[in-house]
Structure 1
Amino acid sequence: MDYKKLSQDILANVGGESNIESVTHCVTRLRLKLKDESNANTDVIENLDGVIGVAKASGQYQIIIGKEIENVYRAFSELFEHSKLQGEVEADQLPEKPKGIKGYLNNALDVFISCFTPLIPVIAGSGMIKVLLSLLVTFKVLDSNDSTYQLLNMIGDGVYYFLPILVGYTAAKRMNVDIFIGMVLGAILVHPTLLKLAGDNSATYTSLAGLPVKIVDYSAQALPVILTVWLAKYVDTFTNKISPNIVKIFLRPMLTLLITAPIMLVIIAPLGSVLGDYFQVFSNLMNQWGWIAVGLNAALFPLLVLTGMHNALIPLIITMFASQGFDAVLIPSGLIANIAEGAAAAAVAVRAKNKRTKSLAASATVSALVGITEPALYGVNLRFKRPFYAMLLGSLVSGCLAGLLHLTAYSFVSPSLLSLPIFIGKNSNIVTAIISAALAFAVTFAITYVMGFNEEQNT
């Protein structure tokens, strides 16, 4: 694939750099925030070599690339920045169109998700360290009381404990705030003094200039710092204006922190923790629904992928792992949905007579089984329609079966055949994971094969 040419073609057909507000990416998609989506030539982009499809959701124009996304994103970013440096019109020089309530909600959701998306690789890497530790303990290589285990476990947990600092960075970068202000605000939330103020009496409140400050363990909480960085954006603009140039280098950040940090500790952080508690209530509710929740979420997951909304689950999944240390619903249902997507494509590969269709479906099967489902979703199942419906039904049925087997994830890693060890823990093991994946494949393959499809459609 010629990444540079693909990037040039995409840039030309989304309305040029002047129509782009921001560029991000997830595991499979180039996510653009466009000033005017009507300027994008979607039909042309969908037919570019290397593009699987286009989705529009959460205020983003999402170009689905697949496993080559890192290379395409790098090439596109370099091209985009170079074009801006050539003196062409920058995105922020154009007036924004009125958004309306829906637009503001989409923008808020986009900001919220984008604060987590850059952290996914390091969270997944930390999760795999936890998986490795679980395997080492299972095979008696390490004992959980050993200092080696404790230190390696600390390495795996570090990303969760200091999550407010990491999110402070990503939120500040996303909202165009001094990134070090964002990181310091996150650091304040995890400073040990806050918990020490509880004292021997386990007090729930202390005071700041007579104002009540709720004592909460904010490690692994992200929402408070996101909201505070949003406030800091406006406070910093104000302090920058009133600070004389001769002392601005220290007065501006000093005033920004003195204004925003107390508001965070007194109002925003406790409010954010309450909203985080509602996340936990939702998590508990899904856990109580058990196998039904897994089945329903497995059937819903491909629809979220189709609309590009699956990343909206990331904050909830992170909250679940940070608060309870496992996920018995969302990641297990994601595994089932991914395997089912591949199974439906495999059935198409077996039944198809056209060699090109067979080859495409077989390749998409392998991709889906290792966690990249877009080739199977857009290139095969959705294209022939009936395999898509069969995949949804197979996800529902096999998701319920996985729930009955108590399939539980103990690390946040994208679920696939390659990451089955994440399901090793108290309530499930590698055998449970293998059986659940096998059932998902067999059930969905059988349903798809029986339902069949019209091979002449879109061939």
Structure 2
Amino acid sequence: MIPIIGILAGSGILKGILAALTGFKILSVTSGTYVILNAVGDATFYFLPIVLGFTAAKKLGSDPIVLAIVGGILIYPQIVTLASKAGTASTNFLGIPTTLVLYTSSVFLIIVAAWLGKYVEQFLKKIIPTYIRSVFAPILEALILSLIIIIGVGPIITVLSKGLSNGLVAIYNFSPTLCGFVIGGVYQTMVIFGLHWGLIPIVINDIATNGHSYINSILSITMVAQGGAVLAVFLKTKNKHLKEMSLAAAVSAFCGVTEPALYGVNLKYKRVFVVASIASAIGGALTGFLRVDNYALSGALIGFPAFITPGVGIGSNFYGYLISHYATLVIAVGMVYLFGFTDKMLIKKNDPMDLNKVNVA
């Protein structure tokens, strides 16, 4: 992830600025200005499987071009269209039942494909004659890896994500506080494995049919917690390069895009992610207890207009948003600063990102 963290962070900040401009009605989502700027901010995330396929392949020893093509197959427009509709997501390949999944912005699966690619290449080189290898080996490798992901892994993710989302909704109906604690603690882990897609349709349906979503308020908390965690790293580290990356990732997370924080810092130094998830669980429980509601597909700190109740204005729900989100921010920063990170982690990992050697007392 390291080669693309910078562009991820910058894209996240741009998307946050656009969210603020549209939230305050300064910019219309139908305007040409918005469409172009949104394309610039969104392209990195939408095409993440392609970019990550290339970088992961270089790191894991498989063919970068082939893996970029595999990433492209996963987000091919017609596949995305079929996967986004319940009526066509269940299809078949040569008679094999297949459930299509939205892979845009996904991370885990393309890394798995890049890892498998090395072994698939070795196998193909053994069975394909040298004089036709350059033509047939790459396309067969792309085919095999794509089928493994689409036919093998995709349906498993679908079953797991639907089961998790239904279970979390049932928990919310039983106890909003407990649900907030559980979702707050596990949601960003779900994002890593692509399991969060089971919750997104529920949020969209809630807002479309009811005009609001309690679940989205809890998801919003997880962004603040991850941002707070990486902000604590920025405040504590003496490493110049890590400081720059952490600050950009924190701003991006507060704008609603956690990938730079997750993959650039928090997961790399695992204890940071664990402590951030604990803070997120506490914040989620507080959000559920206060029954904070969300009125648009927006969140984190930049998305505060989405918590202003339509027709009512600033009232108890918005105050609940302020309490839950900023309390989570303080908890995440404090816990990670005190327990989650130290510059000794860079030395123990012999971190290649440590371009400027830190002095640890």
Q: TM-score, normalised by structure 2?
A: 0.54
Alignment of 1:141-180 (within 5 A): 141-180=26-65
Deviations 1:170-224 (A, max 9, x none): 44234221112211111111112335679x9944444433333334433334444
Which of 167, 192, 213 is residue 315 of structure 1 equivalent to?
192
Change (3 A) 1:400 1:146: same
Whether 1:424 and 2:316 are equivalent positions in the alignment is: no
- Distance, in Å, in 1 between the alignment partners of 2:222 and 2:26 is 31
Displacement of 1:256 after TM fit?
1.7
1:406 matched residue in structure 2 = 292
1:184 matched residue in structure 2 = 69
- Distance, in Å, in 1 between the alignment partners of 2:145 and 2:167 is 30
Amino acid at match of 1:226: I
- Contact 1:286–1:329 (Cα < 8 Å) also in 2: no
Deviations 1:240-299 (A, max 9, x none): 23333333322321332343333433323333443444565577578776555666898x
2:119 matched residue in structure 1 = 234
- Contact 1:287–1:329 (Cα < 8 Å) also in 2: no
Amino acid at match of 2:304: I
Change (3 A) 1:287 1:249: farther
Amino acid at match of 1:148: T
For the aligned residues, what is the CA RMSD? 5.4
- Distance, in Å, in 2 between the alignment partners of 1:268 and 1:294 is 29
Uncovered stretches (5+) of structure 2, i.e. residues with no partner: 205-215, 239-245, 252-277, 309-313, 334-360
Which of 220, 242, 246 is residue 131 of structure 2 equivalent to?
246
Paired residue total: 275
Which of 303, 310, 330 is residue 222 of structure 2 equivalent to?
330
Name which structure has the greater RCO, CA cutoff 8 Å, separation 6+: 2
Amino acid at match of 1:406: V
- Distance, in Å, in 1 between the alignment partners of 2:139 and 2:115 is 17
Change (3 A) 1:319 1:168: farther
- Distance, in Å, in 1 between the alignment partners of 2:233 and 2:171 is 23
Give the number of the structure whose residues are more often helix, by fraction.
Answer: 2
Whether 1:218 and 2:103 are equivalent positions in the alignment is: yes
Which of 93, 110, 118 is residue 208 of structure 1 equivalent to?
93
Give the number of the structure whose residues are more often strand, by fraction.
Answer: 1
- Contact 2:79–2:100 (Cα < 8 Å) also in 1: yes
Displacement of 1:237 after TM fit?
0.8
Percent identity, aligned pairs only, is 26
Deviations 1:44-82 (A, max 9, x none): xxxxxxxxxxxxxxxxxxxxxxxxxxxxxxxxxxxxxxx
Change (3 A) 1:335 1:282: farther
- Contact 2:222–2:284 (Cα < 8 Å) also in 1: no
Displacement of 1:397 after TM fit?
7.4
- Distance, in Å, in 2 between the alignment partners of 1:259 and 1:395 is 39
Q: TM-score, normalised by structure 1?
A: 0.44
Secondary structure of 1:212 counterpart: strand
- Contact 1:166–1:183 (Cα < 8 Å) also in 2: yes
Uncovered stretches (5+) of structure 1, i.e. residues with no partner: 1-115, 302-309, 346-359, 361-367, 373-392, 446-458
Change (3 A) 1:431 1:210: same
2:311 matched residue in structure 1 = none
Amino acid at match of 1:329: I
Which of 144, 149, 167 is residue 259 of structure 1 equivalent to?
144
